[in-house]
Amino acid sequence: MNYTIDATNKTLGRLATEVATLLMGKNDTSFVRNKVSGNMVTVTNAAKLKIDPRKLEQKTYSRYSGYPGGLTVSKMAHVISKKGYREVVTTAIKGMLPDNKLKKEFLKHLTVTE
C-alpha cells in the first residue's frame, strides 16, 4: 500500500510517529510483528515542518567514531544547513522504529522529499 503524508505545519515528533506506525504496518488488521508490511510511505514538504526556533538550537545529534575523543555533536540547525530537512526527518523516524533486523527494511520503504 502507498501512503503520502504532507508534512506542512506538523511537528517533527508527531509526524515521525505517524510514519513509523505506517511503516511497521500497525494500522493493518494483518499486522505481524516479525514481518515487513510492505507499506511504502512518502513524506512531502519536509521543509515546511513546524519546528520551534528554540529546538533548532537545543536539539543535538551525536555520532561516535569509536576512537578516544571521537564524539561529534551537532545542533539541529547545523544538520539542516548541511544535509537538509530530509536528514532530520529520517533520523526521527529511525529512532521510532524497533531496534531489530527489520529496521533497515522498513527504512527502504521510506521516501522523504523537501
Gap between the Cα atoms of 106 and 87, Å rounded:
16
List domains and CATH numbers for the chain: 2-51+85-112 (3.90.1180.10)
Instruction: Enter the C-alpha cell of residue 11.
Output: 511537528
pLDDT classification of 81: cutoffs 50, 70, 90: very high
pLDDT classification of 13: cutoffs 50, 70, 90: very high
Instruction: Enter the C-alpha cell of residue 75.
Output: 545542533
Instruction: Enter the C-alpha cell of residue 26.
Output: 500497525
Q: What are φ and ψ of residue 26, in 5° steps?
A: -70, -10
pLDDT classification of 55: cutoffs 50, 70, 90: very high
pTM of the predicted structure, to 2 decimals: 0.94
Location of C-alpha cell 506506525: 21
